[in-house]
Amino acid sequence: MEVCANLGDSAGAATAVALGAEGVGLLRSEFVFLDSPCAPDLVAQEAEYRRVLDALEGRPLVVRTLDVGGDKPLPYWPIPHEANPYLGVRGIRLTLQRPQIFETQLRALLRAADGRPLRIMSPMVGLVEEWRQARDLALALRAEYDCADLQLGIMVEVPSAALLAPALAQEVDFFSIGTNDLTQYALAIDRGHPSLSGQADGLHPAVLQLIDMTVRAAHAHGKWVGICGELAADAQALPVLLGLGVDELSVSARSIPLVKQGVRELDQARARELAQAALGLASAGEVRALVSNALGEDR
């Protein structure tokens, strides 16, 4: 199990490495766009991505392409009002509507790579056509740059992506499960809802089933799976995620030492049994009770 860092800026990469990050598992590239009064050009973007890759000194960088729209509009990129922004034009849906902006971001990433390990993933993929369009654009550009160690994948945040994992796994290089959005969409609970968000628990067996499907499909095709939502840093989720066979956890830099310690203390065979039992339960509360009993017995 690799433990990597989630980053929302380029300055934090060196600290993440100092805290033990084995790579960056999620670079939320929105910061490059949000910190700018107009769409950032190729040179400005390349400098940011290069800064992260330099700090990583050969460790892999997983970048999420621009994930705005819906509830997160950019001032220079007006989006018509939507009644249901979380179900509207956001993430990959938005960038595919503006191929010029998407292409500039991909070029900046490929230029910054310089042969170093770069993984590019698209957010909010729910349809195979979205993945294929994004992949085709990246592959068309790739030939122009020195990008020997490139992988292309998707974030699994929309339940349809997990349900389609057996088909998608034949085409992607990796999956990264965004449990924040996956939980929101699987349970139909707004992740920021003032009274309901507490019930949006990624340890809900329905979410675990989607994670399990994704991991099994990926491994059947020799692909890897990361978790980059908040669940990855949840101590009670750790044995379950290890037991489901997840290959990488990506968490905030400050959580890395604790997560690494937690992983080291776990027994793989017991974690597998626990995960299987969790998949058969009916609520997040039942899963949490099961894990806390199991962890209690270990002490």
Going by the DSSP 8-state scheme, the letter that residue 52 receives in this structure is: H
Amino acid letter at 54? D
Which 3 state secondary structure label does DSSP give 79?
coil
Confirm if 122 and 109 have CB atoms less than 8 A apart. Answer: no
Binding flags for ligand PEP, 210-239, as an x/- string (CB under 6 A): ------------------xx----------
Q: How far is the CB of 137 from ligand PEP (least distance, A)?
A: 22
Q: How far is the CB of 105 from Mg ion (least distance, A)?
A: 17
Give strand pairing partners of 90: 69
* Position of minimal CB gap to Mg ion: 181
DSSP strand E in 89-223: where? Answer: 118-122, 150-156, 174-177
Residue 105 or 179 with smaller CB distance to ligand PEP = 179
Residue 30 or 171 with smaller CB distance to ligand PEP = 30
Q: Which of residues 17-36 bind ligand PEP (CB under 6 A)?
A: 26, 28
Q: How far apart are CA 293 and CA 45, in angstroms?
A: 48
Binding partner at 229 among Mg ion, ligand PEP, none, C-beta below 5 to 8 Å by kind: ligand PEP
Q: How far apart are CA 155 and CA 205, in angstroms?
A: 20
Q: Which of residues 144-183 bind ligand PEP (CB under 6 A)?
A: 157, 178-181
Q: How far is the CB of 198 from ligand PEP (least distance, A)?
A: 17
Binding flags for ligand PEP, 75-114, as an x/- string (CB under 6 A): ----------------------------------------
**Distances, alpha carbon 164 to alpha carbons 123, 133, 200, 213, in Å:** 15, 17, 23, 9
Read off the tokens for 167: 């088909």
At residue 7, φ and ψ (nearest 5 deg) are -130, 145
Q: Figure out which of the listed residues 48, 181, 212, 248 binds Mg ion, where binding follows CB under 5 A.
A: 181
